[in-house]
Amino acid sequence: MGRFVRDALRLSEEQRQFVELARDFAAREIRPRGRAVDEADTESPLDVWEKASKLGLTSFMLPEKFGGGGITDLLTQVLIQEELCHGDIGIGNLVTSNGFFSAPIENLGTPEQQERWLRPLTNDIPPLTAVAVTEPGTGSDAASIQTTAVREGDEYVLNGQKTWISNAPYAEYFVIFATVDATKRSKGVTAFVVEKDTPGLKVGPPFQKMGQRAIVNAEVFLDNVRVPVDQRLGDEGKGFSGLMRTFDASRILIGAATTGLARAALDEATAYAKQRVQFGKPIIEHQAVAFRLADMATKVDTSHLLTIRAAQLFDEGHAVAQESAMAKLVGSENAMWVTHAAVQTLGGYGYSREYPVERWMRDAKLEEIEEGTSDIQRIIISRSLG
């Protein structure tokens, strides 16, 4: 993996430094905290967030003109995401979560809006943020959003309920997707930036989850929330197109995150197989185990290469709905397979919480569900074949 990145991609010195910074931070600060964060259940490791922010790892993806790291190409973001999530996918995703908030603002916002909401993200200790799309009755079908936005003079009044919103208990700002006309489906979807202290906005208690507990999820309730017109991103009805472009990038980044997770599981299983002796020799010398490790390694590289291809096409300005869906589908399902195989390789120890692979298997499951399930990714891919 490292040889592919260094030689085939021919990274610039700046790119290489950021990737190495992420790799070092993941090993030094992220990996050692994984188990404690998982045991804490509903608490984000804000101290790790603060350390990452001081190194620029929470804002490297933001343009330099706002004080960010200026790493705006998706390829480098993918390489950094993979390294962070090699440490721990939940914490790695937390570190880069403001990139999900910034994307619709960059895609839809005016220069004044970008200055207003992106610059604070580059502070030494930036605010955490959230994007609110999912609703109790609206998951993968984002065009069917029921949260309403009714214009009254120079304001919009928002009413509705969002669920499974990442960072919701900690977020200072939300990008909230609502509809100005539900009968128009996607053509009614509009995006707004809403601050946490806005009257009528309330956050519910944190959800208890199977995995990726570093990012805390909760419901968000909107009861006659008044939002000035200048906090609308883009024109009415333009939110859906901005959201889809955001998903094109974020699904590729999920491919990178799951590749990092799968790599970690492969590393752990390989190291264990080299030292665990059964029937008089290390189990890696038994064909059944060796072939499993070979399949794991092949799946890790497949995920990596698909993600790299999608990122390069995105950076070249191509429409990448198909390639983005492939990167997420293959990355998430391979991560699920590889982490399961790691548990199998460690046997009884793999089933124990003393070892990280059982946690990583739980972490992997989320990526087959969020931002469009595997079923949805297959629909996107199949539609592009016609």
Is the Cα torsion angle 358, 249, 195, 69 positive or negative in sign?
A: positive
Measured distance CA(344)–CA(148) in Å, rounded: 48
Enclosing H/E stretch for 220: strand 217-228
- Among the listed residues 45, 52, 66, the one whose alpha carbon sits nearest the alpha carbon of residue 120: 66
- Tell me which residue has tokens 């009257």: 199
371 is catalytic: yes
Measured distance CA(70)–CA(158) in Å, rounded: 34
Strand partners, 132: 176
CA atoms within 13 A on the CB side of 188: 18
Measured distance CA(230)–CA(233) in Å, rounded: 8
Measured distance CA(336)–CA(254) in Å, rounded: 13
Question: Which residues 6+ apart lie within 8 Å of 160 measured at CB?
Answer: 135, 145, 146, 147, 148, 178, 222
Asked if residue 318 lies in contact with residue 311, where contact means CB atoms within 8 angstroms, the answer is no
- Among the listed residues 385, 386, 368, the one whose alpha carbon sits nearest the alpha carbon of residue 377: 368
Q: Say which amino acid occupies 225.
A: V
Query: Taking the chain, what is the end-to-end CA distance rounded to the nearest angstrom?
Result: 34
Alpha-helix residue ranges (DSSP H) falling in the chain? 2-3, 13-25, 34-40, 46-54, 74-87, 89-95, 98-108, 111-118, 239-275, 287-315, 321-346, 357-366, 374-383
Asked if residue 306 lies in contact with residue 331, where contact means CB atoms within 8 angstroms, the answer is yes
Measured distance CA(364)–CA(332) in Å, rounded: 7
Q: Which of 29, 106, 135, 371 is catalytic?
A: 371
Q: Which residues are catalytic?
A: 371
